[in-house]
């Protein structure tokens, strides 16, 4: 029997090799029929040449087509219901007056190269420059500029969206709580948000119930929150910058976050705010000139390491049930109060650098011979009763401090670093101090420990 006709089978049921090849060819042809036409017939149309408006072009194109929009003004709102690439050349301006200026309602849509403005005189909190609706998975919004919009890019229940290299300026005339968010994600997992710049927004990036995303290299200024999460798990926040906001980066009700190499500087209240954050890694961040540098509230089993925490009114504030967090390898420099720790038991945070450490290193191994302790009875009194700071130089508080040293029974729960570093662990701290020359605004006046003399 020729080899092309032998049979293969089991228990009497067999098929010739020629028949198998024929079936495979049919399957391949069927797949090409499904996928091929959209690619083979894809075309590029030009608004202003082939069609008078973007909306008119959208009615005529097919999946896979490119709609090129040349520079000029386009006063229209439109909905994209096909997998097209909407590409602006020479910065065409799309001006909306109500609702969503552009709505993406199909998978596989790309919008790039546009300027979007909102001329609605009413501040409509339900409007957006670009709205990505449920099911519009894989939408790409990149290299656009947004001016005076409410929410710039708003995604609701779309998976795997990419929002890249956009410039967003919110409604500067509104108080920050009444503006929209620069980038707003809800129920949108696996998002990739990179290289965006947000200014004068409510929150630069607001994320809720949108897990497993990547937020890398974004910058927010002059807003309420730089980055703000609610119930967002297994997500990466890296190389983001939050400067001169109310709060820098706030990770709330979230777990398994990776928060690395971010900058939070000159924010009115918190640099890094961690509220009910669990099992997350916070490393390599620069936190300078905020009222509170790092704030743990009801957060457990986190790792805080290799961060620079400098020139804040309060370096690290840990309370509200925040326990069992690992804190090591950090550099605390010139915070008015290095650590405020309120809990029911002592914590051991070894291997940090403390600029106010007064110990010594007799054997020259770079580790202090005495532990660094953050809390004292006097600290405890001052934190619970802020007006007591008026008595800081009094003989009674000084006597209490001396008695505590002699009689440990008076000690309160505290943090102890049994291996304090004698040198800053972030060796570039001087350069960062020059780059981010911010000092705390003391938004919370009651945390001051010492009288201000400079």
Q: How confident is the model at residue 361 (pLDDT cuts 50, 70, 90)?
A: very high
pLDDT of 387:
64
Q: How confident is the model at residue 34 (pLDDT cuts 50, 70, 90)?
A: very low
The total number of structural domains that make up the chain? 3
Do 264 and 326 lie in one domain? The reply is: yes
Do 401 and 435 lie in one domain? The reply is: no
Q: How confident is the model at residue 358 (pLDDT cuts 50, 70, 90)?
A: confident
| Cβ–Cβ < 8 Å for 353, 424 | yes
Residue 453 located in a structural domain: no
Burial letters for 216-253: b for 16+ Cβ neighbours within 10 Å, e otherwise? bbbbbbbbbbbbbbbebbebebbbbbbbbbbbbbbbbb
| Cβ–Cβ < 8 Å for 316, 336 | no
Do 30 and 117 lie in one domain? The reply is: no
**Domain membership of residue 393 as a residue range:** 376-412
pLDDT of 98:
86
Q: How confident is the model at residue 189 (pLDDT cuts 50, 70, 90)?
A: very high
pLDDT of 32:
44
Residue 398 located in a structural domain: yes
Residue 252 located in a structural domain: yes
Is residue 147 scored above 90 in pLDDT? yes
Do 321 and 400 lie in one domain? The reply is: no
Query: What are the pLDDT digits (tens) for 211-241?
Result: 999 999 999 999 999 999 999 999 999 999 9
pLDDT of 216:
98
Q: How confident is the model at residue 453 (pLDDT cuts 50, 70, 90)?
A: very low
Do 101 and 20 lie in one domain? The reply is: no
Do 21 and 164 lie in one domain? The reply is: no
CATH number (domain holding residue 60): 2.160.20.10
* Region for residue 50 given its phi and psi (left: phi exceeds 0; alpha: psi -120 to 50; beta: otherwise): alpha
| Cβ–Cβ < 8 Å for 117, 147 | yes
Calpha distance 352→424 (Å, rounded): 8
Do 256 and 383 lie in one domain? The reply is: no
Q: How confident is the model at residue 113 (pLDDT cuts 50, 70, 90)?
A: very high
| Cβ–Cβ < 8 Å for 236, 214 | yes
Give CA separation, 4 vs 18, 26, 29, 347, in Å: 6, 18, 22, 76
Q: How confident is the model at residue 143 (pLDDT cuts 50, 70, 90)?
A: very high
Do 207 and 106 lie in one domain? The reply is: yes
Do 408 and 424 lie in one domain? The reply is: no
Do 440 and 403 lie in one domain? The reply is: no
Average pLDDT taken over every residue of the chain: 87
Is residue 450 scored above 60 in pLDDT? no
Residue 386: CB atoms within 10 Å = 15
Q: How confident is the model at residue 452 (pLDDT cuts 50, 70, 90)?
A: very low
Paired sense of beta strands 7-10 and 13-16, if any: antiparallel
pTM across the whole model: 0.84
Do 332 and 383 lie in one domain? The reply is: no
Query: What are the pLDDT digits (tens) for 42-97?
Result: 899 999 899 999 999 999 999 999 999 999 999 999 999 999 999 999 999 999 98
pLDDT of 3:
40
| C-alpha closest to that of 311 among 139, 189, 403, 429 | 429
Q: How confident is the model at residue 379 (pLDDT cuts 50, 70, 90)?
A: low
Do 64 and 152 lie in one domain? The reply is: yes
Q: How confident is the model at residue 38 (pLDDT cuts 50, 70, 90)?
A: very low
Query: What are the pLDDT digits (tens) for 267-318?
Result: 999 999 999 999 999 999 999 999 999 999 999 999 999 999 999 999 999 9
């Amino acid at each position: 029997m020729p080899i092309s006709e032998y049979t293969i089978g089991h228990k009497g049921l067999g098929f010739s090799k020629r028949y198998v090849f024929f079936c495979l060819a049919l399957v391949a042809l069927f797949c090409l029929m499904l996928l091929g036409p959209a690619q083979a017939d894809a075309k590029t149309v030009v608004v202003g040449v082939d069609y008078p408006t973007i909306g008119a072009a959208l009615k005529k194109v097919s999946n896979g087509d490119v709609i090129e929009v040349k520079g000029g003004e386009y006063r229209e709102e439109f909905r994209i219901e096909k997998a097209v690439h909407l590409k602006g050349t020479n910065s065409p301006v799309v001006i909306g007056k109500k609702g969503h200026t552009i709505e993406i309602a199909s998978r596989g849509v790309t919008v790039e190269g546009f300027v979007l403005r909102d001329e609605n005189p009413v501040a409509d909190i339900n409007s957006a420059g670009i709205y990505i609706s449920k099911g519009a998975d894989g939408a790409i919004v990149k290299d656009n500029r947004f001016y005076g919009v409410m929410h710039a890019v708003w995604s609701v229940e779309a998976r795997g969206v990419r929002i890249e290299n956009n410039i967003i300026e919110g409604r500067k005339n509104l108080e920050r709580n009444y503006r929209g968010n620069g980038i707003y994600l809800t129920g949108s997992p696996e998002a990739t948000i990179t290289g965006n710049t947000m200014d004068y927004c409510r929150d630069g990036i607001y994320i809720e119930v949108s897990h497993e995303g990547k937020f890398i290299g974004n910058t927010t200024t002059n807003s309420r929150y730089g980055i703000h999460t609610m119930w967002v798990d297994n997500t990466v926040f890296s190389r983001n910058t939050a400067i001169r906001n109310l709060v820098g980066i706030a990770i709330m009700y979230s777990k398994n976050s990776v928060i690395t190499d971010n900058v939070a500087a000159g924010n009115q209240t918190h640099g890094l705010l961690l509220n009910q954050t669990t099992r997350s890694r916070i490393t390599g961040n620069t936190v300078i000139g905020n009222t509170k540098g790092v704030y743990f509230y009801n957060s457990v089993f986190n790792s805080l390491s290799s961060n620079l925490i400098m020139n804040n009114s309060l370096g690290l504030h840990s309370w509200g049930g925040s326990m069992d967090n690992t804190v090591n390898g950090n550099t605390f420099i010139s915070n008015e109060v290095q650590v405020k720790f309120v809990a029911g038991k002592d914590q051991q945070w070894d291997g940090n650098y403390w600029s106010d450490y007064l110990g010594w290193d007799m054997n020259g191994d770079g580790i202090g011979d005495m532990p660094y302790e953050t809390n004292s009875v006097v600290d405890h009194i001052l934190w619970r009763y802020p007006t007591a700071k008026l008595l800081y130089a009094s003989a009674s508080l000084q006597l209490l401090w001396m008695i505590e040293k002699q009689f440990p029974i008076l000690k309160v729960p505290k943090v102890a670093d049994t291996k304090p570093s004698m040198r800053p662990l972030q060796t570039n701290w001087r350069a960062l101090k020059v780059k981010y020359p911010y000092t705390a605004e003391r938004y919370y006046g009651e945390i001051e420990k010492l009288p201000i003399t400079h």
